[in-house]
Structure 1
Amino acid sequence: MADILQFPPNRTPAPEPEPEPLWREALGRSLRAAREEQGDRLVDIAERAGISPQYLSEIERGRKEPSSEMIAAVTGALGVEFSTLLIEIAGDVRRLRRAATRRPTGPVLLAA
């Protein structure tokens, strides 16, 4: 039976697979991007949403996974459609997932 040889020989261990992108991180990036795009300050959005600036900051940094009510309050304060936010997050997670699974591979030779 033929052996499968990697060419050139793999001298370094394969990198660990990237972890799956987290929903809360994608949510935070989208919320922060929307806030910054509008030129709003974190404290202003937090006040309009009825939450503390510290909590909003943790949401934006992907440290907290807010309830649907909190997300609705923040998107309302931003004037962003919830469905638009979900579509943006889905695209973000999809892009990150593709980037994490793409691995360059070298040619493989079969030896008799």
Structure 2
Amino acid sequence: MTTRASDTQTARVVPLRPQQAPRPVPEPREPLLRDVVGGVLRRERLTQGRTLKDVAEAARISVPYLSELERGRKEASSEVLAAAARALGLGLGDVLSLVQRELVAVHSTVGRSRTATAGRYGGLCLAA
């Protein structure tokens, strides 16, 4: 019996997808201010059980614009932010205080070193 050359060769497996090295886990980044402000506005609105339309009408801004603010897609001017706060029964300072609390919480989990200024104000300082 003769042996064929192909019988003595081992089968070679070619992967369909090339092997990739595992991606390094990126460091958590601090959120953008507009994302935090939008999240605070949305949470307050939902806590009150109100609709976008209701709050937008009370603030005298369009529903799509308020939606964009809540999703962090638009930066709110101080006038618009104050109007949205009033529509939610809050003051501008109340909204900024909620934003500051959230930023401090995120800041402590990101692991950034605290500066002397940050320590003096308990994490961060927002001025209106």
TM-score calculated relative to the size of structure 1: 0.74
**Other-structure match for 1:95:** 105
Q: Distance in 1 between matches of 2:57 and 2:44?
A: 16
**Other-structure match for 1:50:** 60
The alpha-carbon deviation at position 14 of structure 1 amounts to 4.8
The alpha-carbon deviation at position 87 of structure 1 amounts to 1.1
Give 1:73's match in structure 2, choosing from 71, 83, 86: 83
The alpha-carbon deviation at position 18 of structure 1 amounts to 2.1
Q: Distance in 2 between matches of 1:13 and 1:63?
A: 28
**Other-structure match for 2:16:** none
Give 1:85's match in structure 2, choosing from 68, 87, 95: 95
Identity across the alignment (%): 40
Mapping of residues 1-112 of structure 1, within 5 Å: 14-101=24-111
The alpha-carbon deviation at position 84 of structure 1 amounts to 1.5
Structure number with larger C-alpha Rg = 2
Q: Alpha carbon RMSD of aligned pairs, Å?
A: 1.9
Relative contact order (C-alpha < 8 Å, sep 6+): which is higher? 1
- Give the number of equivalent residue pairs: 92
Q: Which has the higher strand share?
A: 1
- Counterpart amino acid of 2:69? I
- Counterpart amino acid of 1:37? T
Unaligned stretches of 5+ in structure 2? 1-20, 113-128
The alpha-carbon deviation at position 85 of structure 1 amounts to 1.2
